[in-house]
Amino acid sequence: MINPKMEAALNSQINEEFYSSFLYLSMSAYFESVSLTGFAHWMGIQAQEEHAHAMKFYTYLIQKGGKVNLRAVAEPKTKWDSVLNVFEDTYEHEQKITLLIDNLVNLAIEVKDHASNSFLQWFVTEQVEEESNVTKIIDELKMIGDNRTGTFMMDRELKQRIFTPPPVA
């Protein structure tokens, strides 16, 4: 059986992960609307990853004998000023998710839930990768600046991303 505080916190994280998926899907739609299909593809993959993360939490909570309580997902932002602005928002969002994961780890330690602490370590590592990937894209976008050829080349590069489902809990 899972600690009630941990159960509530994991349910909250499920909602955050579904919101992340919606946010990245919205970003993908934005990129489609400005004919940047590679950027759209990259964000679509990101949306799939976040959905998979939500389901990883969902499955874990059930395995621990907890009850999943799905809540309404907030409406995501739909307009941005630039490609760079989208990725700056992405980085800010990933920093928020990192903080939430860190808080879950702290709670698991506080309530002496070793299984949840172990489960959460995958997400700790994942967040390092998420922030690093976005930072790399932001750095490249800053180097490119307003160069349309650079943006076009980066769009082609990002179209190559492949979705790799995370391991199941």
Q: Over the stretch 111-165, which tens digit does the pLDDT of each residue have? A: 999 999 999 999 999 999 999 999 999 999 999 999 999 999 999 999 999 998 8
Give the dihedral sign, CA 47/107/98/119: negative
CATH code of the domain made up of 4-158: 1.20.1260.10
Predicted local distance difference test score (pLDDT) of residue 161: 92
Distances (CA, A) of 25 to 18, 75, 82, 90, 145: 11, 11, 16, 12, 25
Q: Over the stretch 61-92, which tens digit does the pLDDT of each residue have? A: 999 999 999 999 999 999 999 999 999 999 99
Whether the per-residue pLDDT at 34 is higher than 80: the answer is: yes
Interatomic CA distance for residues 7 and 1, integer angstroms: 10
At residue 166 the predicted structure's pLDDT band, cuts being 50, 70 and 90, is confident
Predicted local distance difference test score (pLDDT) of residue 89: 98
Distances (CA, A) of 54 to 12, 20, 92: 10, 9, 19
Interatomic CA distance for residues 88 and 98, integer angstroms: 15
Residues 127, 133, 135, CA angle at the centre, nearest 5°? 100
Predicted local distance difference test score (pLDDT) of residue 165: 87
